[in-house]
Amino acid sequence: MCLAKGEVGEEGEGKCDIYEGSWVVDESYPMYNSTLCPHIRREFDCQKYGRPDKLYLRYKWQPKDCDLPRFDGQDFLRRFKGKKIMYIGDSISLNQWQSMVCLLYAVVPDQSRIFQNANGPLTTVIFQDYDLSIMVFHSPYLVDIEIEEIGRVLKLDSLKNGSIWKTNDIVIFNTWLWWYRSGRAQPWDYIQDGDQIKKDMDRMVAFKKALITWAKWVDSNVDFNKTQVFFRGVTPAHYDGKEWDEPRVTNCSKETQPISGSTYPSGLPQSSYVLEGVLSGVTKPVQFLNITTLSQLRKDGHPSMYNGVNRSMDCTHWCIAGVPDTWNQLLYAALISQN
């Protein structure tokens, strides 16, 4: 399986792009009961906070020309016994991490042997009987924000947390959500680009420069004999119905079904092209989890007002159980193809 292109198949045989497909109802889904998983933050716990419909839980991703292996939690625990797996990025990484924890929690015989601890930006769930750590490291820009005399500085060419990240066996990166934040939601006061310190700059240019810093770090610092590196694609928000040919829709609050077919009307966002361009220049074998289009199709997958946070409208994050389970299913497919 070449995840950069999403291809499955032996040499000489027909290849299958696992990222080209559609969402279909499968009555065996969801893969776990979210009400029994104690690790879900209230922002993502849609059933607990009153979401009335359940059809969104029943969809599985069906590639056009092949089948995706179902996530097998017991196999995962056995296969990766003794390993350290870390999700690194923004709150969408947190979304995917909590999905993985619930997928595994559901199949562990003695759940009293599962422990969680938090230390600054790092949260770890340890599956004691398997010596398996599933971690999430909060780093929304991947590059550093440092406190200096002038204030908080976003440094596009500095990446100091890499010394922690590279010690793991499997790392899954993502960044995008915070790059266009401004005002009080913006956690920095200045951007440093090389020797220049600026009050602001073109955010897409800044995003690309930070990704290039990350790519150089990967090429120079990660031992690929020990560590497998994944980068998950940009995830969409669904606040603008024009993107899916419903121009009067302004959020996801009434969405209960995916978009049919395999094409999102407005196409990929610019950030996806920037990300793929940078990844194509990495010399080491970083694997791309190309989940943008399949996630764009899931306008029904967000918490909307069922998020336990003042019933605010959230069409950015994802319900758990839900779409992030498929991201982890694709990660599992990549891992088992290599191990």
317 as an active site residue: the answer is yes
Of 165, 251, 261, 247, the C-alpha closest to 214 is 165
Distance CA 306, CA 333 (A): 31
Can you name the residues that pair with 21 across neighbouring β-strands? 63
Regarding beta strands 16-17 and 170-173, do their DSSP bridges make them parallel or antiparallel, or are they unpaired?
unpaired
Measuring CA to CA, how many Å separate 296 from each of 3, 152, 205, 234? 19, 34, 23, 10
First to last CA, the chain: 12
Side chain identity, residue 31: M
Selecting among 39, 238, 302, 317, the annotated active-site residue is 317
Distance CA 237, CA 329 (A): 21
Measuring CA to CA, how many Å separate 68 from each of 49, 324, 336? 31, 15, 12
91 as an active site residue: the answer is yes
Selecting among 34, 45, 91, 302, the annotated active-site residue is 91
Q: Structure tokens of 30?
A: 């969801």
238 as an active site residue: the answer is no
Give me Rg for the CA atoms of the chain: 20
Look at the block and give the residue holding tokens 């029943």. Answer: 58
Selecting among 45, 90, 144, 314, the annotated active-site residue is 314
Can you name the residues that pair with 288 across neighbouring β-strands? 231
Question: Where in the sequence numbering do the catalytic residues fall?
Answer: 91, 314, 317
